[in-house]
Structure 1
Amino acid sequence: MPNDARLMLLDRDTVAGLLTHDVVLEAVTEAFRLHSQGAGRVFPVVRETLPGGGVFGIKSGDVPAEGLLGFKAAGFWPGNRAAGGEPHQATIVLVDPATGRPRGIVDGNAITTYRTGAAGAIGLKLLARPDSASACLFGTGVQAAIQLDFALRTLPDLRTVRYLGSSGRANADFEARFADRCDIAMATHADTAVAASDVVICATPGRGPLFGLQAVRAGTHINAVGADTRGKRELPSGLLERARLFVDDRVQARQIGELQWLPDAACTEVGDLLCAARRPPRGASDITVFDMTGIALQDLTVARLVLQRAASAGVGTVVAWPW
């Protein structure tokens, strides 16, 4: 066995410096296409609660024809906040499928943030009305910010944004990040904000329905980000029955996404839309929902890209990893 093998390690700051919106969007689009074509596989998800209220999960998959294999170990550790740390933690490992040896270990926090934002953008481009001008955003955290960032890049007419955070108070720092790109302000009532919006983006911990069913008007598109574990939800009862449903992966959506609450509902994977020669038209009165659970292929395609860019730029840490 060779004793000169090397392993690439990429920490948080290195990864963040290698990510751009365009390249992540390209990689996530490729992930959805590979999934739809059957070239990329998504393995069963591990998602378990931990003592103390944390969650630990593993998402894994492969693209055999491209020699891509790996997993992301990730979850939520609420106790990190007291220590001044980030409660969401993720690490991605890419593996040589021929030998089982690791090729790279990559901090996955920024990748998770960006790839989820890119997936949201794909949902908006495919499913929202092109002239969408107003949005209601639930959440003011890292994921809410990246969703809004990508939304403003994707929908050229988006000008008005109303947001709701867990504190119930205006978030000046959050508003300042987007003040030069849109008219942004805190909403005083969830249902009123939803009813006035063309697009609704839900990026919360998924502790329960965020708005009432009757607030959703005809023609609305909803990106549902927060339901990624059994028992989580952000959408009200009855909405899935009224909407055209789109998912990143049918099995995952029915196990841990919004579709866990209506698992027999018909749905379409967004990868199928990307691969279709002709996409079915969107009716002006259609309510559409994109149930975003996040698939392993998104993490793996972006991590591969990051490793390639790190090698080209001569950054990262390479360590001996003999057999």
Structure 2
Amino acid sequence: MKKIIVQAASAACIMFTIVMLWFTGMGYLFAGPSYGLNLTMSVFGAALGMAALQALWFTGAVFRKLAYPARIAGFGACGLPVLALCAWAGPWFPLDDPGVWAAFALVYLFILAGVTAGYTIYFKKTAGGYDQALARYREKNRREAAACPRPSLTPQKGIPMKEKLAFGTKVMVAHVLTYTLCGFAALFLFDYQSSVEAIGMRPLDDPIVGLAPVFQIVRGALFSLVLWLIRPAFMGRKHGWLVVWAVIAIIGIFNTPAPSPDSIEGFIYLAPTDAPLGISIGGTLEILAQTLLFSVAATWWVKRPARHASGAPGSSPAGPDTAKSSDPKF
């Protein structure tokens, strides 16, 4: 249950970040710069900058042998200018008041000291110190990588047709169910009935629209074909659902070759419409939510056989090499 909660929270954070960035960009494009948009982007810049500094000073990717106090000092010295730049770009407070800047620096140092003390106590209790905790973390990742190697990208032969059909059926059913669930939820949440015709869509009582779930069987079959082709990219990964969602969101929503709504090409070539804001935002949220739920459900479902695989060659949808890799991570 704890893992499920953590994964759901991670997915919600990722989805929130993507939606916020997307609509902030749309705001800049159609409404121009404003205080609210600048403030939002400055907060995102601060989060990105501090995350980059955390990776620089505390992961060992650059500074492998550096004492913990030196890491804290380096992070603190770099973090204050980054936040000050974001505060100026926002702006977060009146920029011409030296007293406010002094208070900002004091608050930063106070928070840095508190967080440092908290982590120091935590590392001392759990591992004896930061260096020991980092060594334990690396060893854990090494063992997980050795226990669950990534499948080869070379085509696998000898996979029974039954396994292929089971893979395709699960992906198709996952798509139809999540599409129907999110479609009905958006229908009532965003009042599609009174606004879809304003943007050139068929009315909801049109017979073809009523058959939409049936047409989704074809779409689900196409999804299963694509996911089967790229299955080595997500079957052996801990967060394989994120790989699937990234592929669908990037290629199928934001970077479509045709100028479709919500895509980059659509922003360039489609003329603005008088569609209500609710249907514009609702449509994007519906698509993101449905593709996210589909990615999570489909990835979890197609990996289930491998959890109970007997180890016989060809018993895993990802191919013979992955049948022995014990328990693929969700």
TM-score range, shorter chain: under 0.3
TM-score scaled by length of structure 2: 0.25
Which structure has the bigger radius of gyration? 2
Structure number with the higher helix fraction is: 2
Structure number with the higher strand fraction is: 1
TM-score scaled by length of structure 1: 0.25
